[in-house]
C-alpha cells in the first residue's frame, strides 16, 4: 500500500503543503500536540500534516 499527501484546501497550512500535493509518503513520525503527524516524503522533504490529509492509494 502507498500513501500520498492531499492537503486540505481550506486548512491553515495549505500554502505550506500545496507544493507537495500528491507526493508519495516515505515514512511517518510522531504526532504533535496539535494532532499533526510528521511525515517524510519520497524526495526527503519533511512536513507536518493532519491524519486526514494522508491518503492511502
Encode pLDDT of 8-56 as tens digits.
Answer: 999 888 999 999 999 999 999 999 999 999 999 999 999 999 999 999 9
Q: What is the pLDDT of residue 25?
A: 98
27: three-class secondary structure by DSSP: strand
Domain ranges of the chain: 3-56
19: three-class secondary structure by DSSP: helix
Q: What is the pLDDT of residue 11?
A: 86
Give the predicted TM-score (pTM) of the model: 0.87
Q: What are the b/e assignments for 18-28, b being 16+ CB within 10 Å?
A: eebeebebeee
Distance CA 19, CA 30 (A): 22
Amino acid at each position: 500500500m502507498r500513501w500520498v499527501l492531499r492537503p486540505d484546501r481550506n486548512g491553515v497550512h495549505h500554502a505550506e503543503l500545496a507544493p507537495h500535493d500528491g507526493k508519495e509518503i516515505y515514512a511517518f513520525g510522531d504526532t504533535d500536540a496539535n494532532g499533526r503527524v510528521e511525515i517524510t516524503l519520497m524526495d526527503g522533504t519533511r512536513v507536518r500534516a493532519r491524519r486526514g490529509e494522508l491518503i492511502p492509494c
